[in-house]
Structures are given as structure tokens and as C-alpha cells.
A and B are shown apart, each in its own frame.
Chain A
Amino acid sequence: MTIEDRLHGLRTAPPARVDRAVLLGTGLADGFGLFQSPIGQVIVTFNTDGVSSVDLPDEEAFTRFHQRFGRQLIEARPPRGWDRWINLAIERGTPGELPIDLRVVTDFQRQVLEVTTTIPRGQVRTYGWLARRVGKTGATRAVGSTMARNPLPLIVPCHRVVRSDGLIGNYSLGGNDRKRQLLEHEGADPGGLEELAGRGIRFLGSDTTGVFCLPTCRHARRISDNHRVEFRSADEAAGSGFRPCLVCSP
């Protein structure tokens, strides 16, 4: 064998992990891992921009990801430190330190989702409340479809957004029961909310402070029974001389 042949014989393919790293490094693929959540195991995907999606780990998960994002998925470890941030974000129901990648949604949807991350754990807001917060009063339906298309359920807590009539409403990550389960897990008492809604009550006020709140606001929950006043509308509350709470802005 000539020396040229022997040099040619040194050709060798790189380990497969090089290909995976190239796909992840160029952003042509996202990595994925499985994480625990209050509603069981979920699949979390990520890339160099941040965490890109949270979904249920069924057989269709890869197809759904590819259809929506147009990228492949590769099983990978998240960047250093993200493991802990992902677990915290799922547990607390807000991104915290974790970078999130919302490139897949429109500017309007991004604004809505960013406001959604500010809803405190254990509390709920309505689609109409979110619409007002992004300066689009009346865009309730668009907010509703934003929630339905939320790429990061659990981390962007769309489970804390309910219908204006007080009913729990739909949930993209496995239906209403999951939403109820999550709210109960956070101590939000969805049954109590629906009981109030059933009687047409949408706000609670305190006759000592003269302030009215959304029923799950931390201030509403401090009102003792003998000082609690129920209202069917914001107009009714204002007509009785109550002012809206600055925390939950009902």
C-alpha cells in the first residue's frame, strides 16, 4: 500500500454528537427534554434563544412541533443552568430567570403572553382584563385565541385566565379538567369561583376599605365574611361608592 493510500485510509466520520451539536448550534433543530409538572410529565423544547414550547409527551408531540415551528427535535440537555430554571418556571408558573423564545407568535400575542406572566400564582384574570391591559379593550376573542395558541403553557400561565362570566373556560394542554387541577394545585378554588359566577357575582368589595377586587385577588381573600360585599358589575360597585383595587385592577 502506498503512503498516499494509507493517508487516505485515515478518513473517518465524526461522532454523531457533532451533527446534533451543529443542528442545535445553527438553530435548525431544538433540543427537548422531559420534565415533571403538577399535571404529570411534559416535554419542554429549547434552543439558543430560550425555551420554545411545552407540550404533552404523546406520540403526536414531534409532529405538532414540526408543523408549528418547522424545525426538528433532538433529545439534548438544556444549556447549563437551564434545568433548574425550567423546573422552577414550571413550579411557579412564570418564566423567572428562564429565557423564553416567543418568535412563533405575533407582536400582539407576545404582548398578551407577557402580561399573562405577571398574573400571580393562585389568582385568575379574565380574557377581557388581559385585552384592557394591552390597550385593546374589546379584543377578548383575540386574547382567547392567543391563550389557545400559547406555545409555553404552565410557564406562561394561561391556566390563570378564565372567562369573564367566571367559568373556567378551555385549556390547550389537555382540557378543562387539567386547568381546574392546576388552579386547585395553586390554591385558587375554582369551585368557589364558579359558585360565585353561578350567582352572577363578579367582584367582591370590603365595606371597611371601600375597595372592590376580582374574587381571587389577595386583597379580596382577606375580607372577612361580615364585611364582604358582592357586586355583579364594576358599575354597580362604583355606584355604591367603591373604587377598583390597584393590585388586580378589576
Chain B
Amino acid sequence: MNDLCQRLSRDLDGTFPELVGLLRQDIYSGLRRLYPAEAEDLTQETLIRAYRALAGYEPERIRQLQLRGWIWTIALNLGRNHARDRARRPQPVEYEDRHPKIDPEPPDSVAWDRRLRGLPPHQRQAVVLRHVVGLSYPEIAEVVARPEGTVKADVHRGLQKLRQIMEGEQ
């Protein structure tokens, strides 16, 4: 990751596709769980915003970046704004086939959407960032601007709650 930042700072256009290759699955998988309907648009927008931000940074700033955490700050900001705009606008009638799901999804994907909806927002976010995306606790604490201990507790309680939900299913 450090080496990637070095190269991004020297040749942004030549190296950026590598960043996309490295982080696309992280970003999409996380956003897919947090904002199911908009995950695809948000993933695109996150990466485009990241590129534009990098294009405006001094090389030194790029070399110092903690890429994964930094890009998740962008992604979560976009997600929040999206959710807020959505809440303000009257929603158009959505038809079942408007976004045909032609892409492969994990087998129990829909069940997980329902289970995760059962968690309070902070716990859901912490669980997804830790166990779907794979961020470290210090990275999550930085991204969500909450103390590391609080994040750990959120993940712990979130997992407990998920276990309860799944037991209730049987």
C-alpha cells in the first residue's frame, strides 16, 4: 500500500487503475451491505471522487495517505449524503425489474440484508467495516470518528445481536 502511494504520487494517471483494482471489491462489498440499492453508483462515485481529490493533492500528502481508511471516509460521506437526499425527496415508484439483478450475489445475500437491518446503524456500520471490508479497529475508529473502544464494543454487540437474529430464524 505504501509502494502504491509512492507511485500514485509520481504518476497518478498511470497508477490509479491499480488502486481501483485493489480496492474495488472492498468498497463495493461494504457499500452493498450499508446502502444496498445504491451500492453500484456509490462505488463509482467514491472512486471518481478519490481520483479528483488525489489530482489536487501535493505528492507529499499522497505519500502519507492511509489509503483504505481515507477512501472509506469518502465512501461513507457519500453514502450519508445519498441517504439524506433520498429521505428528503419523494421516492419514485420502484418496479421490481428496474434494476435487474443480473450480477452474481452471495447465496444468502438477501437474508443478510434483512439481518443487518435488524442492527442499530452504528453497530451495522462497525460490523460491516470490520468483518465484510476487513478494516482494522484503528482504521474504523478514524473513519467513523469514534473512539476505538467504542468501535470494538459496537462490533461485539452487533455480532451478538446477529447471532440472536439467526437463532430466531431456526
Contacts and interface: CB of A to CB of B under 8 A. Distances in A.
A22 B132 contact: no
Interface string A8-32: 1111111101110111011010000
Contact of B40 (A8, A15, A25, A26): A15
A247 interface: no
Contacts of B33: 10
B38 interface: no
A4 B20 contact: no
A7 interface: yes
Contact of B43 (A4, A8, A11, A18): A18
B24 A18 contact: yes
A246 interface: no
Interface stretch (B1-9, B60-68, B82-90, B104-112): B104-112
Contacts of A25: 44, 47-48
A49 B127 CA distance: 41
Interface stretch (B71-79, B135-143, B158-166): B158-166
A3 B162 contact: yes
Given A18-B44, A26-B48, A10 B29 contact: yes
Given A7-B127, A9-B106, A26 B51 contact: yes
Nearest to B26: A11
A3 B166 contact: yes
A12 B159 contact: no
A19 B35 CA distance: 19
B45 to A, nearest CB: 8
B154 to A, nearest CB: 14
Contacts of B16: 26, 28
A24 to B, nearest CB: 9
A58 to B, nearest CB: 26
A9 B131 CA distance: 9
Chain B interface helix/strand/loop/mixed: helix
A8 B131 contact: yes
B150 interface: no
Contact of B106 (A12, A17, A18, A21): A12
The size bracket of the interface on A is 20 to 34
B131 A4 contact: yes
B151 to A, nearest CB: 16
A14 B24 contact: yes
B44 A11 contact: no
Contacts of B24: 13-14, 18-19
B17 interface: yes
Given A7-B132, A8-B134, A28-B16, A18 B25 contact: no
A8 B132 contact: yes
Contact of B28 (A9, A18, A23, A70): A18
Contacts of A70: 13
B131 A7 contact: yes
B98 interface: no
Interface of A: 3-4, 7-15, 17-19, 21-23, 25-26, 28, 70
25 contacts: A3-B166, A4-B131, A7-B112, A10-B29, A10-B106, A11-B25, A11-B26, A11-B29, A12-B25, A12-B28, A12-B106, A14-B24, A14-B27, A14-B40, A14-B43, A17-B40, A18-B43, A19-B20, A22-B20, A25-B44, A25-B47, A26-B51, A28-B13, A28-B16, A28-B51
